[in-house]
Chains A and B, each alone.
Chain A
Amino acid sequence: MLNVIDYVPGDTLLHRLNPVTKLALAAAIVAATFLADSYPALIALLALTLALAAYAGVFGRLARLLKVLVPIALIMLVLQTAFTRSGTPLIGFVTDEGLITGGKACLRLLGVALPLVLMLMVTKLNDLANACVEKLHIPYRYAFTFSTALRFVPVFSQEMNAIMEAQTARGVEYDTRNPFKKLKLMLPLCVPLLISSVSKTDACALAAEQRGFYLRTRESCYRRYPFAARDAVAFALAVALIVGGILL
């Protein structure tokens, strides 16, 4: 089973950047998305993310995520237009101001989620954790916690799927079309999921300790993550993006 945030192997420039640089670049796009306040700027940032994804060969994967995100963004748009009462009314409860701010909120949601996911797609989790420890001096235990949490996402979603299948086969109506009923039926599943999560987490902690987790220092890592010229270029781009975000 493949997951949206799984690493996609490749040899593009984006893959070869230092993980810290990639993190900075993604953070810069996110920051610029928050700072920018015009439609052209927001759309340009989104287009940049999608172009980078296409270049790295993960556009298809990112599009799968878009399928989930776009409906959420549309719900936000509807809520925004419903709650914004200022401006001139257009149709029904929709005002022009509501539509404009709502549209921006939509674009921001996409503009924040996509760069981070893209970064995870082109970076191995271990490299990200190790590079953050080496360059940013983050204590290893935090980096490990973060990467393990991300790694467990697909494990838990598989577990959840298996539990839902087992419950469906017993006759619980997960195949109902009513989403509220489905949600209500899903609540009891928290018990088996929680129990298996706790035991998995405990097993993971024990296994890590038995392989010398507490001995690890910043110098332990076998691989080194030096910055190269391309990283300097990427950092310059990141700064430019933030400045652009402030100006536009």
Chain B
Amino acid sequence: MAAIIEMDGVSFSYGSDAAHALDNVSLTVEEGDFVGIIGPSGAGKSTLAACLSGAIPHHYTGELFGSTRVAGYDTCDVSLTDISRTVGSVAQDIDAQMVASIVEDEILFGLENFGVPHDQIEGRIAHTLETVGIADLRHREIATLSGGQKQKVAIAAILALEPRVLVLDEPTAALDPVSSSVVFETLSDINRRLGITVIVIEQKVALLSSHCSRIVVMDRGRIALTGTPHEVFGASERLRAIGVDSPRTVRISNSLAACGIAPDATPCLNVDEAYRLIAGLVKDLPHAASTPADAPAPSPHVSARPHAEGASPVLELTGAGYSYPNGGASVTDLAMCVYPGELVGIVGQNGAGKTTITKLLNGLIKPARGSVVVAGLDTRETPVSRIAAHVSTLFQNPDRQICKNTVLDEVAFGLELTGVDSASARESARDVIERFGLPATEAPFSLSRGQRQMVALAGVVVMEPEIVLLDEPTSGLDYRECMTVMETVRDMADHGCAVVMVCHDMEVVSDFAERIVVMANGRILDRGPARDLFADAALMDEASVTPPQVIELAARLARDVSPAFAGITEVSDIVRTVKELMGRA
């Protein structure tokens, strides 16, 4: 097939003295490819997408070198509007790119502008909605749709224009796992059936590895690696150095390959491939079916902290219920206790009521029924501003939390609000800032997204709260930033702080939380040790939660191959068990 996009030695900086956001990038995309772009934050992924869609040089100003050719035309020579006839792009902010309030009008907008003959318009709308699978939403108001539905509307609005290339910048950043994979399935379908080239920036490695035909890894403005998913994830050591996660199954196959047990040709991209690999290795061993499971080693992330035996809970929900006056995710009959030093994860689909729980816990909403007691205070009788001294919340979007002009002011602000005098607040703030390695005198808004999240986290740590609430602490962060945030939080738990986190990334939850609470439709389905609940397939199904890869793999292996795999939650335990079984052969 012919190349539809050719970038040749492209460098770009957002100002003459700014660092290069792109540094001598050359990339060729063949028509019909499904390309995934991944890399740590600040690697230049969004800048690359802006070059492909023509936003650079036509919308953003800066210094551009090299050439980008789309369908044979240099993007500098044709207008942005003409480029977008070939390249349709879906921006990161779902709400901001909408131009209409009704789904149908949103799709009409582009069709009208590009002068599609009026007798073809009806057919195009109907066909596009059908392709994306949202024909039933045609007359709905966009404001009433869920995040996943909105994202599909945005894709449909571009797809209706029949572009040859679709460029998407983190289309699943605000979505739950189920909606994320639906969006990727839609993209795959468009790619396969209509032959449209898809270029997608994405942080979720499991999605990229199962849908893309080619992956481009970016690092500091350059292309570090490129190839098929199997080629790229085969180099997982290299990826780790760059700061890119690999699917857990890849870690298993690479570890097995490293110790010479498995052929090192192809890494396993998903649970099926890993299952086949391991089953093939151990199935025929005579004792495999009879070896019992060892007591699994505790997760290296979950530290063996002195679990508060007999201590009184620092947080207690009894029969708590709440429903929003305008409708929305209401919750009923919530009951849970959290003890000092515990790290509890709350999992469930969007709309299950997870965020409502966090708001009940920090007092932003008061329970209509039942009671919520945090750090000995009944939230119904205590103003939120007083609860804040005991409960700190790290929100999904740090920009809503940050309001001061320097990092130092920002971090000290929370302490000052609780009545600590300015001098000692700044003293403590300076300590934390130093520990985090943040620039104390800079304006928070001039920092990168990941650093802003760290500033917000520093503001939480400095409070030394009894309870920390995390609402999607890792979304929008790259792998390395995500680990830094989670390790900081785990440290706080080690020092006796109770941590409650709402998180979509089940790998993170299973790594760090010792207990989980599973929610669906505003109710708590079950709560208990993370490894037990994740292994409960019926429960996971009911809550529409995809269990972590390792747990799913271990459960399948334990069922069909050898009981030795039962109850494993860690990559290293799978590898060790395989080695032991092979060693005994």
Residues of A within 8 A of B (CB): 1-3, 6-7, 124-126, 144, 148, 151, 154-155, 159, 162-163, 165-176, 188-189, 191-192, 195-196, 199-201, 203-204, 206-216, 220-222
Contact = CB atoms under 8 A, between A and B. Distances in A.
A209 B110 CA distance: 10
Contacts of A220: 112-113, 115
Contacts of A203: 91-93, 96-97
Contact of A169 (B89, B114, B388, B402): B388
Interface in B379-423: 383-386, 388-389, 391-393, 395, 397, 399-404, 413-414, 417-418
Nearest to A7: B101
Contact of A192 (B96, B109, B363, B402): B402
25 contacts: A3-B143, A6-B141, A126-B101, A165-B400, A168-B364, A169-B362, A169-B391, A170-B388, A170-B459, A192-B402, A192-B403, A200-B93, A204-B98, A208-B109, A209-B84, A211-B84, A211-B99, A211-B161, A212-B81, A212-B161, A215-B113, A215-B114, A215-B115, A216-B112, A222-B118
B84 A212 contact: yes
Contacts of A201: 96
A13 B391 CA distance: 54
Nearest to A207: B97
Nearest to B160: A211
A176 B386 CA distance: 11
Contacts of B393: 166, 169-170
B143 A6 contact: yes
Contacts of B392: 169-170
A2 B118 CA distance: 33
Interface of B: 53-55, 59, 80-81, 84, 88-89, 91-93, 95-102, 105, 108-115, 118, 121, 141, 143, 157-158, 161, 326, 328, 359, 362-364, 383-386, 388-389, 391-393, 395, 397, 399-404, 413-414, 417-418, 445, 459
Nearest to B59: A206
A148, A171, A204, A216 pick with most chain B CB within 10 angstroms: A171
A206 B400 contact: no
B323 to A, nearest CB: 14
A247 B96 CA distance: 48
Given A170-B388, A210-B88, A204 B97 contact: yes
A67 B108 CA distance: 37
B121 A170 contact: no
A171 B388 contact: yes
A148 B418 contact: no
Contacts of B459: 170
Contacts of A1: 143, 326, 328
A167 B81 contact: no
A67 B5 CA distance: 57
Contacts of A163: 400
Given A6-B141, A199-B93, A148 B99 contact: yes
A106 B417 CA distance: 41
B401 A167 contact: yes
B364 A170 contact: no
Given A169-B393, A171-B418, A154 B112 contact: no
Nearest to A197: B96
Contact of A214 (B81, B101, B111, B157): B81
Contacts of B96: 155, 199-201, 203-204, 207
A144, A155, A209 pick with most chain B CB within 10 angstroms: A209
Contacts of A208: 99, 109
Contacts of B95: 155, 200
A210 B400 contact: no
A210 B527 CA distance: 48
A200 to B, nearest CB: 4
Contacts of B141: 6-7
Contacts of A216: 112-113
A131 to B, nearest CB: 13
A1, A211, A222 pick with most chain B CB within 10 angstroms: A211
Contacts of B445: 191, 195
A211 B414 contact: no
Given A7-B101, A203-B91, 12 more contacts: A6-B141, A155-B95, A155-B96, A165-B359, A165-B400, A168-B364, A171-B414, A199-B96, A207-B97, A209-B59, A212-B110, A215-B113
B403 A188 contact: yes
B408 to A, nearest CB: 16
Contact of A189 (B54, B93, B403): B403
A162 B59 CA distance: 30
A175 B143 contact: no
Contacts of A125: 100-101
Nearest to B361: A169
A213 to B, nearest CB: 6
Contact of B399 (A192, A204, A207): A192
Contacts of A206: 55, 59, 91
Given A2-B326, A173-B383, A192-B399, A124 B102 contact: yes
Contacts of A155: 95-96
Contacts of A168: 364, 384-385, 388
Contacts of A188: 403-404
A192 B400 contact: yes
Contacts of B92: 203
Nearest to B414: A170
A211 B157 contact: yes
A172 B417 contact: yes
A60 B478 CA distance: 47
A210 B143 CA distance: 22
B110 A211 contact: yes
A209 B81 contact: yes
A166 B395 contact: yes
Contacts of A171: 384-386, 388-389, 414, 417-418
Nearest to A160: B400
A209 B402 CA distance: 31
Nearest to A161: B400
A151 B98 CA distance: 10
A144, A188, A189, A204 pick with most chain B CB within 10 angstroms: A204
A222 B403 contact: no
Contacts of A176: 385
B416 to A, nearest CB: 9
A127 B65 CA distance: 44
Given A171-B418, A203-B91, A210 B80 contact: yes
A196 B398 CA distance: 12
A167 B383 CA distance: 13
B114 A151 contact: no
A174 B401 CA distance: 14
B338 to A, nearest CB: 17
A196 B95 CA distance: 12
Contacts of A124: 101-102, 105
A7 to B, nearest CB: 7
Given A168-B364, A171-B388, A206-B91, A213 B401 contact: no
B403 A167 contact: yes
Given A169-B362, A170-B388, A207 B99 contact: yes
Contacts of B402: 192
Given A148-B99, A168-B364, A162 B397 contact: yes
